[in-house]
Amino acid sequence: MTRQIVYLHGQPGGPDELSLFGPMIWPEDVILTAPDRNREPVLLPEGPVTLIGFSMGGKAALDWAQRMPERITHIHLIAPAGPPESEALLDQMAGGTLFRMARDRPRLFSRVVQMQALMARIAPGLMTRLLLSTAQAADAELAKDPAFRTRMAAMLKAGLGHSPAAYAAEISAYMQPWGAGLSTLDTPVTLWHGEDDNWAPMALSEALAARLPGPVTVHRLPGLSHYAALRHALQHIAAA
């Protein structure tokens, strides 16, 4: 029997996150799809589906599970951006200033997004260096890898550089209250989170695990940060 897995990328990001670390081998019984939310609405395949949500894609996965609980058999959330329900949580996030801007100063946020998109389009290498400038722990090592930087630059150009509207809309929606709706979600969830993640701090997964009423498994990943956790989790999910 085939297994349907849908990968929901982060922001800024795209389906090419799956190849940031080179080719991956998935089991023959897996049908893996990775819709590009920067360009098109997500359509789930027929039948039971497992969702993988990375970073901001975690909210997209949880949204789908609330809309279609009978279709979603399992959710893997990797470095998820859980509900930012306190200023203290935002203080721990490298992008906290931008998230607050989306909430409190939407016009300025829109201008900043347009500037980011222009940079991603015409100078994706510079955008990549700026994005990775706050990398720490294992991500700092990834940031030194020329192949990783090249793939990241191409992904940013194809995603944020092509469609800043989707990026802006998802961040704005993320900053609206949405945690209360999780109280009815009983789909099994597995959380994968690097303990040294400064983009989506471990506290976001801890708060998310406490709020979810269904079965929750938490994998704390010592020494890993944002993209390093993605690499680790994908390898383990693919090998399962």
Reported as a pLDDT band with limits 50, 70 and 90, residue 13 is: very high
pLDDT score of 1 = 80
Mean pLDDT for the chain overall = 95
Sign of CA dihedral 197, 121, 15, 82: positive
Buried b (16+ CB within 10 A) or exposed e, 56-88: bbbbbbbbbbeeeeebbebbbbbbbbbbbeeee
Residue 74, token pair as written in the block = 């399992």
Of the candidates 170, 171, 132, 167, the residue with the CA atom closest to the CA atom of residue 153? 132
Residue-range domains of the chain with CATH: 3-87+178-239 (3.40.50.1820), 90-172 (no CATH)
* DSSP state at residue 17: G
**pLDDT of 181 strictly over 90:** no
pLDDT tens sequence across 66-77:
999 999 999 999
**pLDDT of 173 strictly over 90:** yes
pLDDT tens sequence across 114-127:
999 999 999 999 99
Q: What is the pTM of this model?
A: 0.96
